[in-house]
Amino acid sequence: MPATLANGIPIPELDINFVPAKAGEVLKLGPLTCRIMEDGSNTGRSSYLIIISSRLTSSADNRLGVAELIMPPKTPGPPPHWHEMHDETFFVTKGNVRFHVPEVGNPGVDKKVTDAKVGDYVVVPIRAPHTFSNPFDEEARMFFTSTPSFYINYFKLLSTMGEEGKPMPAEVSMTAMAMYATTVVDKQPRKAPE
């Protein structure tokens, strides 16, 4: 029987998940690098505590996915899109990242462009059309979260579909996005200036 609080609530015997610097699963997404730090398998376990045969058990529910996205200079992002099933956040840790809000119905045109610098934080709720790029002269890095975490599997799939170091064709991104409840707004990735 697990230890309990004075009121009889069982005390879970869960541990933290520590990911050292430079650890995690590293994926190449064309020219981008994605370092997965949490795929959801270590999150939400305390939400589903079940007593079975006098044992306290738990189950992960994939509440949070976390990755570091590394973009070389002058790199376009994915085609503009929105997500039906997850929210995203981006925290810029190096360089600058351009976030684009597309003008729906006018392919290749943005109604809003925001240049996020180190320390800036961007929240993308469900159904908010968006994309990002690095049109600048230095590498950019972002801390990315997805809740729930299932979109981390999009990165895993995408890493098997493109060629390392080469631009990811929009059609490839669109095929992978469609498998993860993501709708493309237009087929034109936002490119770095020539």
Quote the distance between the C-alpha of residue 96 and its chain's center.
Answer: 17
In a domain, 147, yes or no: yes
In a domain, 88, yes or no: yes
Task: Report the number of distinct structural domains present in the chain.
Answer: 1
Q: For residue 29, which phi and psi values (nearest 5 degrees)?
A: -115, 75
What does the pLDDT look like over 11-57, one tens digit per residue?
Answer: 888 788 899 998 999 999 999 999 999 999 888 765 444 444 444 44
Q: Encode 142-153: b = buried (16+ Cβ within 10 Å), e = exposed.
A: bebbbbbbbbbb
In a domain, 15, yes or no: no
In a domain, 169, yes or no: yes
Place 66 in a pLDDT band, splitting at 50, 70 and 90: very high
Q: How many helices (H) and strands (E) does the chain have?
A: 2, 13
In a domain, 35, yes or no: yes
Q: Give the domain CATH number at 84.
A: 2.60.120.10
**How much is the pLDDT for 193?**
53
In a domain, 7, yes or no: no
In a domain, 20, yes or no: no
**Domain that includes residue 164, residue range:** 25-184
In a domain, 156, yes or no: yes
What does the pLDDT look like over 83-103, one tens digit per residue?
Answer: 999 999 999 999 999 999 999
